Amino acid sequence: MNRVLSGCRILVTGGAGFIGSNLVESFLNSGNYVVCLDNFSTGKRENLQGFIKNRDFRLIEGDIRNYPDCEKAVQGIDYVFHQAALGSVPRSIKDPMTSADVNIGGFVKMLFASKEAHVRRFIYAASSSTYGDHPDLPKVEEKIGNPLSPYGITKYVDELFATNFAAIYGIETVGLRYFNVFGRRQDPMGAYAAVIPLFVRKLMQHEAPVINGDGSYSRDFTYIDNVVQANHLAALATNKSAVNQVYNVAHGERTTLNELFYMIRELVGETDKKVLKINPVYGPSRAGDIPHSLASIKKAERLLGYNPSYNIKQGMAEAVRWYKANL
Ligand SMILES: NC(=O)c1ccc[n+]([C@@H]2O[C@H](COP(=O)([O-])OP(=O)(O)OC[C@H]3O[C@@H](n4cnc5c(N)ncnc54)[C@H](O)[C@@H]3O)[C@@H](O)[C@H]2O)c1
């Protein structure tokens, strides 16, 4: 059993989203009071259904770009888990101004409000996109390249602000660079749906998913429960050298898009044999995409005690089971 945070007052921004709602659920289960700040731009009310009536849960409908909303949300809070952002590389290429407003402007407002409220620690969702065009594999935290997308820039700028705020104001921060997270409640709909829920939905509808490129691009797909574990540990870390750092949060294994497709097809096909005959359609590569991504998780193992419980196969079995029951 991993160590869990309990008996604290927690703010999860973006708590109605995929990762945020899983954090809210876990923090409530481990005995915390949880506030969620969300504007429902990509998050969903149904993601909060399981706990909206819980007396230890409070929803603040507001926007991280609006400083009074940030101030209200951090009142009396011990730990902030900042997840609110506009995800997706293609979205940021289409509309870089809104991505920058939310992901940088909103981030700084949340960070400043947290500093003013003297929260114990500000833990935030960083991203593997920060590695940009750096060719090394596996990715180690201190070696990053030039960003490949506006989204990647926003996430790197957040890290710079967090490091700077720690130095000049003394606020404790921890950045978690998530690598392609998947699992229950990840949205399979819309133009910017992530690859795993999109493949699952297409196959369940007996349609052929489109793979961008030739399917040889690879990612370190990370099951949501590993991410939840890393967030608990980031708050619990007491060693000074573990704080004001960024960490890769992944499983540390690489899967190509072709391998991913066949893994999902087999799992969806277990209960629907027609699916086993569907093959992917190949389309052009997408601008801003990194060809390969694989994390070294040594730093998180060493300084946080991170020990991911699910590999991709175990996580995918859980995720597909959830989609079969909920789509
Ligand atoms: N999913 C991944 O694979 C992945 C990988 C790397 C980093 N991240 C980061 O993790 C975080 C969570 O991602 P997710 O996949 O759960 O995305 P998501 O879209 O499901 O969740 C984001 C949440 O933030 C809320 N939000 C957006 N703009 C807001 C604003 N202006 N004010 C208040 N709330 C706002 C949305 O409504 C949503 O509930 C993001 O910061 C994202 O950049 C995710």
Measured at the alpha carbon of residue 187, what is the angle toward residues 11 and 86, in degrees to the nearest 5? 55
Coil/strand/helix, residue 69: helix
Please tell me the distance between residue 41's alpha carbon and the centre of ligand 1 in angstroms: 9
CB-based contact 113:68 (threshold 8 Å): no
Confidence of residue 287 (pLDDT cuts 50, 70, 90): confident
Q: Find out whether the beta carbon of 178 lies less than 6 Å from any atom of ligand 1.
A: yes
pLDDT at 314 (0 to 100): 98
Catalytic residue among 33, 79, 124, 151: 151
| CB-CB contact of 124 with 180 (8 Å) | no
Q: Domain locations in the chain?
A: 9-182+223-252+296-309
Of residues 288, 209, 295, the one with CA closest to residue 249: 295
| Ligand 1 pocket test target in 12, 13, 19 with most atoms within 8 Å of CB | 19
Contact call for residues 230 and 159 (beta carbons, < 8 A): no
For 77-110, what is each residue's pLDDT tens digit? Answer: 999 999 999 999 999 999 999 999 999 999 999 9
Distance 42 CA to ligand 1 centre (A): 8
Query: Ligand 1 center to residue 105 CA distance, Å?
Result: 15
Q: Which atom of ligand 1 is nearest to the CA of 20?
A: 16
Mean pLDDT score, 175-185:
98
Contact between 182 and 196 (Cβ < 8 Å): yes
Section 155-175 average pLDDT: 98
Tell me which CATH code domain 9-182+223-252+296-309 carries. Answer: 3.40.50.720
Residue 178 appears among annotated catalytic residues: no
Contacts 24+ apart (CB under 8 A), 157-165: 157/104, 157/107, 158/103, 158/104, 158/107, 158/124, 158/126, 159/126, 159/130, 159/246, 161/104, 161/107, 161/108, 161/111, 162/111, 162/122, 162/124, 162/244, 163/244, 165/111, 165/112, 165/115
Q: With bands split at pLDDT 50, 70 and 90, how would you rate the model's confidence at 290?
A: confident
Cβ of 180 closer than 6 Å to ligand 1, yes or no, is yes
Could you count the other beta carbons within 10 Å of the beta carbon of residue 280? 19
Average pLDDT, the chain: 97
- Å from CA of 273 to ligand 1 middle: 35
Atom of ligand 1 minimally distant from the CA of 178: 6
248: Cβ below 6 Å to ligand 1? Answer: no
